[in-house]
Structures are given as structure tokens and as C-alpha cells.
């Protein structure tokens, strides 16, 4: 017997429609590339998103087509999220920090038909345009009087002029909630970057889950400033969460330094923010140097990399701001777990509470997790058994875009698929998960991935290198930095600087290893694979130069 309730598809357009109808005068504030502060309301945002959707339809964008962005957090980016997704096309947010060749690869793999960009990224667009013949138009997100000209880009369109060609009478369509809405590539896996393709259903459910009080928690009393970029897993869902609950939104644009963020916190009365640990170092340094206080900031979500315990303490003890340590992945839309106290913890001494808050946390309803051993057997939640962390849920990927990398799931005795996160964790008897290591071969620096395998392959291409391995080593600002470990070919000379120079132009600058260590041999496993765990043990006491 089926239930007899309405079949109303869960579509992201309904979130913005809700905000326009019920929180129509709530503000969306943006620091613009143009240099000023732009402010309008959810009502304006929804109207412009509809006009944009109509304009895109007129330029031939159809259901399922991919429209890419290379853009900061701002109102035009938000309009693209809703216009493109709401019309049934797919918004593909690209990380501009990747090497241009990698960006071109991603654009072509995604089959992007249009690409909208903040003019900060004009040099990237000029570099990739000749490599991306499938892109029909390049849309500059800037006022018409600042429209750039470039003889390197075929069809260069202005965002505002495009939007004006659309009608405000356009109506949001209804379609299958399982339709794709967003595409986000991750380079946090081996091989080529892989696309996580979110559906309307998964995005709306994720936004509901994220807004729960013990998750990120958001309400119409909040003013939310996402420092986490909209090209990092949809700014952790905040462009959907804020209009869903009717919170005021503040977009920081390109200026992510401590002083600029602090200024927006104060002038816009921000209560709530979110970002990777590295950005908060800059903010805390600024506030400390100025002897300033946060007048309205109540809490901030910190994730993407492990949040240093001292940061949680400083925010709480020195500034009265709660840190919500969160863990998730691109493949999980991204939220999985968050560290919040429960009723039973409220009378604990602060030091014991701090220990709980340092963990990656408790799952939100919707996500299930388990830790398993090498044989795939579930391990005890005793706080000390270490295992591979697997997850499942309606906002977790079941496969990557275009089937890249094959079936990623592991199946249990009931045939249910679980996504292997590549993280190694413990889970305590109260269900709090703590990450202890990573089994995937990648390094996370300032919240961005560096492929150790790409760096190794490049080193091995050097004629004087017999073997090479790259591991992540701790860094106080960037969390991890790459260390290159090299076995030289017999009888040849090779210096650290020669080898580092060899990388120049081949990878993004921030991928360059911070140091090179020459060794006689690299530990290998039975199948000839480099034993990274052994190497990490071997270099456990190593410190990067200058630290
Ligand atoms: P991404 O897909 O770029 O969001 O990266 C997801 C990965 O980042 C996870 O699988 C972890 O390896 C790492 N990560 C994310 N959040 C945390 C956290 N709070 N603590 C430790 N590692 C984290």
C-alpha cells in the first residue's frame, strides 16, 4: 500500500522560491570584484535567477547541459546556482586553484557548454579557451562597463547583458527530483579528477540535514558568511541552507584575508561562518594583532582538514565563539559528521568537553558509517579500534560522473553499497568518529588536494632519479605540505634545487614539494607498491626547513 501524500519533487528551485515568498526582504550581501559592497534581497535574487534561466534557455541550454563557473562567493554565482540548477541543467563549479591544464581537462571531461567566470580568472580563461572547443560562450561576471576584451577568447559574453535578455515571467519547471543539479570534481583520489554529480533530491535532503540544530544548525536569526568557496562542494551547502531557513547571507568575494573577513563580520553582524582551518589562522592573527573582539559571531564550522585543538580553544576561551568541527567529502555533498556536545556532556569539565569537540564528530541523520578491517569486517565502536571508514546515505555518491574509476562501492552481506572514504578512523561508544590517518594517496594543503602520485611520476621522469615517493608532513599553517623522498640513480649528481626546478611550469606553484630528502632505498610492499605508512613512520620526526 502506498502513502497518499502529494508527490512534490524535492527541487532546489523550491528553496529559493520559499526564501523569496517567506523571507523576501532578507538580504544577500556581497563584496564584489568591482570593489564595492552589493546588497539586495532574496526576492531580487529569485527574480534575477529566473531571468537568467530564461536567458540561458534562449541561448540553447537544455536539461542536463553543463554550465561551469570559475568564481568567488558572490550574488551572481548564487544566481547561477539557482538558474542553471532550477532549469534542470547542471552547475559545474570549478576550483580555480588547479593548474590550467587540469582545469581544461575537467571542462572537457564535464562537457561544459558555457563557462561563467569572475574576471580575476581571465588569465585562466585565456589559457584554457583554445583547449576547450566544446565551450560555446565564456560569460564574464562583471558590470557591462567593466567587460574585458580578449582576442584569445572566441565568444566572450557579459553576464548582465545576458541576464537582461531573459524574461522575469519565466516560471520554474517541475521535473524528476533525481535529475542532476551540480557537478564538482575532486582530485582527492588517485588518477584523474573525478566528478561527484549531485541530484536535486540529494542537495535538498543535504540542506535539510545540514540545517539541523546539531549539524551546522541555521535559522532565520542567523547572518551566515561562508568563507568556504562555492567551488568547494557548494560552500558546504550554505547557498542552499541559508535561503531554506531564511538566514541573511554575506558573500566575501575575492578578499579572504583576515582584515577583510573581520570587517564584514562586524559591519554585517555575522553570527555564523564556515571555512577550512587555514583561513581562520589569518583571521585570528588579525584579531589578536588589533586587540579586536567579535561583536556578533557566535559559531563557526571548521572542516575540510583536521581543526587544530588550539584553534578550538582560542575561539572559545579568548573570543566566546563555538567551533563546530566537521568532517565530510566532495563525495558526501559534503557533510558527514560534526562534533557537538550532547545533553550528557554539559556537566563535564571543560577539558573533557574539549576532547569531544576535537573529534570529527557524530553523524547527521541521513548518513550511516562504519569502520572495517582489511577483510571488510565491521570493527567495534570502542574508541580505539582503527579501521577504514565507510559511509552510505542519500547524499553520498554511488558512482563518479561518466563511471570514471569504475564502481567505487564496497558491498556488505546484504548487498548494500558503502562508499570507502579513504580515511582511517576510530568510533567511540557514543558514536563520535575520530580520523587518525588517511589511506588514500593524497596530501591536503590549506584545504586543497595535492596528488602525491603526480608529483612522484614527475620526479621519476627526471633522468637522475631511480625512485621517488611523496608524503605529507605537518605544517602549522597549511596543515600538510609535500615532502619528496628520492633514491638517486647510481653515479649521478642531483641536488634538491635542481629537482625542485624540474617541477616548475609542470604543476601549480603551491604543489611544489617543500623539501627533498635523499635516501638509499624506499620501502616497498610485496606487490612492489611504496609502503607509505612505513615511510611516514620513518619520517615521523622530520621537520620542514624553517619550522
Ligand atoms: P574533500 O573532498 O576535498 O572535501 O576532502 C575530503 C577529505 O578531507 C576527507 O576524506 C578527509 O581526508 C579530509 N577531511 C575533511 N574534513 C576533515 C576533518 N575535519 N578532519 C580531518 N580530515 C578531514
pLDDT value of position 467: 92
Which residue minimizes the CA distance to atom 15 of ligand 1?
A: 304
> Is 186's C-beta closer than 6 angstroms to any atom of ligand 1?
yes
Q: What is the DSSP code (8-state) at residue 73?
A: B
Q: How far is the CA of 338 from the centre of ligand 1 (A)?
A: 12
Domains and their CATH numbers in the chain:
12-25+34-199 (3.40.50.12780), 443-538 (3.30.300.30)
Alpha-helical (H) ranges within 246-388 are: 258-267, 277-290, 309-313, 319, 350-358
Chain centroid offset of residue 502 CA: 30
**pTM for the full model?**
0.94
CB atoms within 10 A of CB 354: 15
pLDDT digit string, tens, across residues 395-408:
999 999 999 999 99
**Best mutation site among 229, 305, 335, 437 for ligand 1 pocket (most ligand atoms within 8 Å of CB):** 305
> Is 421's C-beta closer than 6 angstroms to any atom of ligand 1?
yes
Counting from 1 in the atom list of ligand 1, the atom nearest the Cα of 307 is: 19
Q: Is 449 a catalytic residue?
A: yes
pLDDT digit string, tens, across residues 484-495:
999 999 999 999
**79, 331, 358, 456: which is the annotated catalytic residue?**
331
* Section 348-353 average pLDDT: 96
pLDDT digit string, tens, across residues 432-443:
999 998 888 889
CB atoms within 10 A of CB 271: 22
Which residue minimizes the CA distance to atom 12 of ligand 1?
A: 423
Q: Is 359 a catalytic residue?
A: no
Which residue minimizes the CA distance to atom 6 of ligand 1?
A: 329
Give CA separation, 317 vs 8, 225, 261, 276, 310, in Å.
46, 22, 21, 20, 10
* Section 497-525 average pLDDT: 93
**186, 271, 337, 426: which is the annotated catalytic residue?**
186
* Section 457-461 average pLDDT: 91
> Is 334's C-beta closer than 6 angstroms to any atom of ligand 1?
yes
Q: Is the pLDDT of residue 500 over 90?
A: yes
Are residues 162 and 52 in contact, defined by beta-carbon separation less than 8 angstroms? Answer: yes
Q: Are strands 223-226 and 272-275 parallel, antiparallel or unpaired?
A: parallel
Q: Is 69 a catalytic residue?
A: no
With bands split at pLDDT 50, 70 and 90, how would you rate the model's confidence at 453? confident
Q: How far is the CA of 114 from the centre of ligand 1 (A)?
A: 30
307, 283, 212, 204: CA torsion to nearest 10: -100
Amino acid at each position: 500500500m502506498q502513502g497518499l501524500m502529494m508527490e512534490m519533487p524535492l527541487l532546489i528551485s523550491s528553496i529559493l522560491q520559499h526564501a523569496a515568498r517567506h523571507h523576501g526582504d532578507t538580504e544577500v550581501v556581497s563584496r564584489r570584484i568591482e570593489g564595492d559592497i552589493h546588497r539586495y534581497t532574496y526576492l531580487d535574487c529569485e527574480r534575477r535567477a529566473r531571468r537568467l534561466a530564461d536567458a540561458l534557455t534562449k541561448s540553447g541550454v537544455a536539461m542536463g547541459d553543463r554550465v561551469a563557473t570559475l568564481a568567488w562567493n558572490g550574488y551572481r554565482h548564487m544566481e547561477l546556482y539557482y538558474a542553471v540548477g532550477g532549469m534542470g541543467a547542471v552547475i559545474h563549479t570549478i576550483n580555480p586553484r588547479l593548474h590550467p591544464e587540469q582545469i581544461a581537462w575537467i571542462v572537457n571531461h564535464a562537457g561544459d557548454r558555457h563557462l561563467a567566470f569572475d574576471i580575476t580568472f581571465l588569465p585562466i580563461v585565456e589559457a584554457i579557451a583554445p583547449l576547450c572547443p566544446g565551450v560555446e560562450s565564456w560569460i564574464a561576471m562583471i558590470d557591462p562597463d567593466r567587460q574585458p576584451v580578449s582576442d584569445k577568447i572566441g565568444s566572450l559574453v557579459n553576464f548582465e547583458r545576458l541576464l537582461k535578455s531573459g524574461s522575469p515571467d519565466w516560471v520554474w519547471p517541475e521535473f524528476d527530483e533525481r535529475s542532476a543539479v551540480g557537478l564538482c570534481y575532486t582530485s582527492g583520489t588517485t588518477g584523474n579528477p573525478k566528478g561527484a554529480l549531485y541530484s536535486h533530491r540529494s542537495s535538498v535532503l543535504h540542506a535539510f540535514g545540514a540545517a539541523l540544530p546539531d549539524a551546522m544548525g541555521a535559522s532565520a536569526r542567523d547572518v551566515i558568511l561562508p568563507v568556504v568557496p562555492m567551488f568547494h562542494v557548494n560552500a558546504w551547502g550554505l547557498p542552499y541552507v541559508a535561503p531554506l531557513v531564511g538566514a541573511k547571507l554575506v558573500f566575501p568575494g575575492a578578499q579572504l584575508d583576515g582584515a577583510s573577513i573581520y570587517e564584514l563580520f562586524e559591519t554585517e553582524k555575522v553570527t555564523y561562518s564556515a571555512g577550512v582551518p587555514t583561513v581562520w589562522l589569518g583571521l585570528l592573527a588579525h584579531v589578536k594583532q588589533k586587540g579586536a573582539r567579535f561583536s556578533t559571531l557566535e559559531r563557526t564550522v571548521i572542516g575540510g582538514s583536521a581543526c587544530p585543538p588550539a584553534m578550538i580553544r582560542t575561539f572559545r576561551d579568548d573570543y566566546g565563539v563555538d567551533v563546530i568541527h566537521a568532517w565530510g567529502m566532495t563525495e558526501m555533498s559534503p557533510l558527514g559528521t560534526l562534533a557537538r556536545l550532547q545533553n550528557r556532556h554539559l556537566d563535564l569539565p571543560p577539558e573533557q568537553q574539549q576532547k569531544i569537540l576535537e573529534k570529527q564528530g557524530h553523524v547527521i541523520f541521513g548518513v550511516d558509517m562504519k569502520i572495517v578491517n582489511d577483510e571488510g569486517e565491521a570493527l567495534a565502536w570502542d574508541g580505539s579500534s582503527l579501521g577504514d571508514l565507510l559511509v552510505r546515505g542519500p547524499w553520498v555518491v554511488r558512482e563518479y560522473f561518466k563511471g570514471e574509476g569504475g564502481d567505487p562501492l564496497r558491498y556488505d552481506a546484504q548487498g548494500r553499497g558503502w562508499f570507502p572514504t579513504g580515511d582511517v578512523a576510530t568510533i567511540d561508544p557514543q558514536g563520535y568518529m575520530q580520523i587518525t590517518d588517511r589511506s588514500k594517496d593524497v596530501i591536503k594543503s590549506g584545504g586543497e588536494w595535492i596528488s602525491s602520485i603526480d608529483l612522484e611520476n614527475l620526479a621519476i621522469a627526471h633522468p637522475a632519479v631511480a625512485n621517488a615517493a611523496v608524503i605529507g608532513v605537518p605544517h602549522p599553517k597549511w596543515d600538510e605540505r609535500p615532502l619528496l623522498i628520492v633514491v638517486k640513480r647510481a653515479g649521478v649528481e642531483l641536488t634538491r634545487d635542481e629537482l625542485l626546478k624540474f617541477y616548475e611550469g609542470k604543476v601549480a606553484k603551491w604543489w611544489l614539494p617543500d623539501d627533498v630528502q635523499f635516501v638509499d632505498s624506499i620501502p616497498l610492499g610485496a606487490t612492489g607498491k611504496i609502503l607509505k605508512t612505513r615511510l611516514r613512520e620513518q619520517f615521523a620526526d622530520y621537520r620542514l626547513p624553517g619550522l
